[in-house]
Structure 1
Amino acid sequence: MTEDLPLEVTDVPDGADAATILDELSAFNAGEVGPSDRRPLGVFFRPAPGEPPEAGLTGYTAWNWLFTGNLWIAERHRGRGLAARLLDAAEAEALHRGCRGAWIDTFNPKAKAAYERCGYAVFGELPDFVAGRSRFFLAKPLGP
């Protein structure tokens, strides 16, 4: 029985412990489906060199997929097509890395509409994820 095994719950996981879990899970997954070849990816807009970004996208590529984890645009730059440019640049790099698809998620209706304009389609939804909003998962094929 597992009920007698002690568990530790924390809101401040030790970095080494978290690394162990990630390393072991990565090794397991590699044994199941092959290595992920996970690589970070970032695309940024800076008003001038050396200044903080005023828009950007961060994520990674793994198993020939691009995952966009964060996409943010400063209020004053919204509505000018910058999200599409950030996604285009990330997708171009993902294609260069051999990716066959991209995915992203959001619970912001405006972001969802922007991603759909960029060719992403909803493949999943978590209703009432937060504040009466659904969280949508969107994907887009890349390449030919």
Structure 2
Amino acid sequence: MMEITSGTTEDGQWIREQLIAYNRQHVPATLFTETEPYCFLAWDEDEQLLGGVTASYVWNHLQVHFLWVDPENRIGGTGKQLMAKIESIAEEKSCSKILLDTFSFQAPGFYEKLGFEEYGRLPDHPAEGQTQYFFVKHL
């Protein structure tokens, strides 16, 4: 008989380490690097925050986690410039691709204009009538 119990933060870390050890048996050693986090902020001349982006380098690609642009500045090119910074880091790290996901109420069209291609979608997520999109840009 099996029992399922709640684990601690330490238990979660141990599970992560076990999966990493398993993964290393199946991917080239050159991909064993730890993740490297990135965070970039965009400011205007009045030192007002216009937006920011977070990403991480892992397994020869950049994974964009969050891109936020102040709603009042969404037509000024802030998002495009932040994504250009991400792409420059990806090129500097010799990444093969950039991955990200977005929702239908966010900016799928924005990413398509930047050359990202949809490789998957999850309908009715996070709510009915909404869609989560998964994008890749091959470098």
CA distance in 1, matches of 2:11, 2:133: 31
Structure 2 unmatched runs, 5+: none
State which of 59, 63, 75 in structure 2 corresponds to 1:63. 59
Q: Is 1:74 aligned to 2:70, yes or no?
A: yes
Q: Is 1:16 aligned to 2:10, yes or no?
A: yes
Tell me if the contact between 1:124 and 1:136 (Cα under 8 Å) persists in the aligned partners.
yes
CA distance in 2, matches of 1:83, 1:71: 7
Structure 1 unmatched runs, 5+: none
Give 1:52 shift.
Answer: 8.1
Give 1:20 shift.
Answer: 1.4
CA distance in 2, matches of 1:63, 1:31: 14
* Aligned length, in residue pairs: 135
Give 1:93 shift.
Answer: 0.7
State which of 110, 114, 133 in structure 2 corresponds to 1:118. 114
- 1:129 aligns to what SS in structure 2? coil
TM-score (norm 1): 0.82
- Aligned partner of 1:28: which letter? Y
Give 1:120 shift.
Answer: 0.4
What is the CA RMSD across the aligned residues, in angstroms? 2.2
**Structure 1 residues 130 and 17: alpha-carbon distance in aligned structure 2, compared to 1, 3 A threshold:** same
TM-score (norm 2): 0.85
* Structure 1 match to 2:124: 128
Q: Is 1:46 aligned to 2:40, yes or no?
A: no
* Structure 1 match to 2:135: 138
* Structure 2 match to 1:104: 100
Identity over aligned pairs, percent: 27
Q: Structure 1 runs of 4+ off > 4 angstroms?
A: none
Q: Is 1:32 aligned to 2:29, yes or no?
A: no
CA distance in 2, matches of 1:41, 1:108: 25
- Aligned partner of 1:27: which letter? A
CA distance in 2, matches of 1:8, 1:129: 28
* Structure 2 match to 1:7: 4
